[in-house]
Every structure is written in structure tokens, then in C-alpha cells.
Amino acid sequence: MLPVIPFFALLIGIAPFSGPPLPGSISGTAKFTVRIAGRAGQAVHVRAVGVPAGYLASFCTNRVCAPFQVTFALPRSGVEAIELQFVARAPGARPPRRVTVAADGARPASIPFSRAVR
């Protein structure tokens, strides 16, 4: 019998942020780039997982910043890159050890928080 290899309708990748700041981006925050690949026009709902108390996870595109989650349609290329920033909202808030991003139909992606660009 052949092994079963799961098929994911979406692929998510996360890396330290690169590029110019997007509108709504806050200077001095921990930033990552999240890339999502799938079918052109596909509806995607991306969310930050395991964000500790005292922190806000904000997904930013060229049009909007949304707290903890964002929904959009993939462009004709089937690939979208969005900024994910973590904002400390309470003095002394402890940052997460890892940043994890999930979406329906995709395997979650994570990266150590220490890799963030500030």
C-alpha cells in the first residue's frame, strides 16, 4: 500500500519581514512576512495562533490592517504576501516564543519570535 500524502489547498510560509513598511504599520514592532499560495481568486482566512495576553497580532495589506485575523481573495497570481506585526499592549508583556499562522486548508507555519525584524 502506498503512503497517504496529505494535500493542502493552501501553502503558508512565514519569514522575517522585508520591504518597505505598509500603510498602518507601526514602527518598532516585531514584523514578519506571511506568504500564502493557492488558487487564483480563492478566499483565504488567515489567523495568528497562540498570541499571548498583552500582545496584539496585526495582519496588514496595502489596504487594511486587521487584528488577529484577515480574510481576502488571492490575486490572479495565486500568491499574496502580507505583513504580520506584533504589538506589545501592556508594559512587561512577555512575547511569544514562536509565531504561528494558520488557515483552513493549510498546514500551519511558524517561526521563532526572535527572528522578527524591528
Contact 51, 110 (CB under 8 A): no
Domain definitions of the chain by residue range? 12-115
Contact 13, 34 (CB under 8 A): yes
pLDDT digits (tens, 9 = 90+) for 34-55: 999 999 999 999 999 999 999 9
Homologous superfamily assigned to 12-115? ntegrin, alpha v. Chain A, domain 3 (2.60.40.1510)
Question: Cell numbers of 113, please?
Answer: 519570535
What residue type is 76 in one-letter code? R
Global confidence as pTM:
0.87
Contact 32, 83 (CB under 8 A): yes
Contact 93, 53 (CB under 8 A): yes
Contact 50, 96 (CB under 8 A): yes
- CA distance linking residue 71 with residue 55, whole number of Å: 21
pLDDT reported for residue 18:
86
Nearest alpha-carbon partner for 68 in 55, 80, 81: 55
E strand or H helix at 47, and its extent?
A: strand 43-49
pLDDT reported for residue 19:
83
- Residue 6: band (very low, low, confident or very high) from pLDDT cuts 50, 70, 90: low
